[in-house]
Amino acid sequence: MQTPNDLSRSLIVLKQDSTLIAVIEMSLSSWLVAGIVPGVERQPLKKLAVDENALLKLLNRWREEAEKGGRKIERIAIAFEAGRDGFWLARWLGARGIEAHVIHASSVAVSREHRRAKTDRLDTKLLNRAFLGWLRGERDHCKMVAIPTIADEDAKRPNRERESLVGEQTRIVNRMKAALSRLGIRGFNPKLKKAAERLEDLRTPEDEPIPPNTLAELRRDMERRRLVSDQIRQIEDARLERIEHANDGPHAMVHLLARVIGVGVETADMLVQEVLSRNLRDRRAVARYGGLTGSPDESGKKRREKGLARSGNARVRRGMIQLAWRFLMFQKDSALAHWFYARTKNTPQTRKTMIVALARKLLIALWRLVREGTIPEGVVLRPAL
């Protein structure tokens, strides 16, 4: 939180007229760059092709225009919304001495009109106002996203790829089961090792074999499922090998979390890469990033909860709710499990609501475990290897 002195210093920096400010509205085909150039009365707006070198050339040209107007530019601050392009541009600009910020898109306040005008030109003006307020020290104008290193981003890819492949594998299996159900064939498990060999022997209720086109489709789906399954196994083997040969940083956190009975290597790796390795301020920030905080609706005498805010990391939220149910099975003697059972003993219908509260408490407890080494009360750990 900024002090009044910090705020006054931020205001002084902007009053010196030595800061060139720019925002970018990014799309797949073009970039629209809006600037505030000291010494230049107009606020320039330039449409560029998707080219970082053209952007750098534009910023240097604006710097020269400011210097011709008698203003020496000591700082260039540029911002754009987080989106499909990720963080590569911010890292690229930062390496060239330009202060780059990535704005959390949902943190920018927009008009509440039913049909508001929305164009790239209007969006750049909106971002400009929000970014200016943030630079002045008024941090509620918008929120900035932490810019990860390329190594940090790359470390998340195996877990996210595995999640995508598991979903694809489930879709393939469901598609095969649906194709067989249309023929009246039930009870066949397409995930078995010899399932492809048994297709020829399957018969419909009319004692007919599987039609040739459907049979060819099922064979292709089985080959696709086998390929996806092999890719999942490759990711898991590579991750285990990587964790075994590195005992520092995030890998040490994975080792520690995996010792908690009920927490598998997959869940531990996901939690470390997505949330626990981040430099979060306190337990409230951890719960908020995990998307496990409420969204109160209070006005006058009205007091109610609208449910989860869902503003955090969806992967962490899903994983923690699943882990909370599993935690109750494997850590029945822990203080967290006793708290949950005591709160739901007389009102079993609140179990689904209270499991979210348990997931939030559990995430904070795991964060303290990897940060401070504090073992949650009553939690049983596996022996260290």
pLDDT in tens, 345-366: 999 899 998 999 999 999 999 9
Mean of pLDDT values over 337-347 = 94
At a CB cut-off of 8 Å and minimum separation 6, what does 286 contact? 275, 280, 363, 364, 367
CA distance 24 to 30: 10
pLDDT class of 11 with cuts at 50, 70, 90:
very low
SS3 19: strand
Strand-strand pairing, 45-49 and 294-299: unpaired
The overall pTM is greater than 0.85: no
Q: Which residue in the block uniquely carries the two structure tokens 């530019």?
A: 73
Mean of pLDDT values over 207-215 = 93
pLDDT-above-90 percentage for the chain: 69
First to last CA, the chain: 42
Q: Are 308 and 360 in contact (CB under 8 A)?
A: no
Q: Are 228 and 208 in contact (CB under 8 A)?
A: no
SS3 333: coil
At a CB cut-off of 8 Å and minimum separation 6, what does 233 contact? none
Top-confidence range, 62-71, 223-232, 236-245: 223-232
- What pLDDT shows up at residue 40? 87
Q: Is the confidence at residue 369, as pLDDT, over 70?
A: yes
pLDDT digits (tens, 9 = 90+) for 57-100: 999 999 999 998 888 899 999 999 998 888 999 999 999 999 99
* 385 or 256: which leads in pLDDT: 256
The mean pLDDT of the chain is 90
Q: Is the confidence at residue 31, as pLDDT, over 50?
A: yes
- What pLDDT shows up at residue 385? 63
Helices (H), 3-149: 4-15, 52-68, 88-94, 120-135
Q: Is the confidence at residue 167, as pLDDT, over 60?
A: yes
pLDDT class of 5 with cuts at 50, 70, 90:
very low
- What pLDDT shows up at residue 269? 93
Q: Is the confidence at residue 2, as pLDDT, over 80?
A: no
For 85-89, 278-282, 309-313, 330-334, which range has the lowest pLDDT when averaged over its residues?
309-313
**Ranges assigned E (strand) in 227-346:** 294-299, 302-308
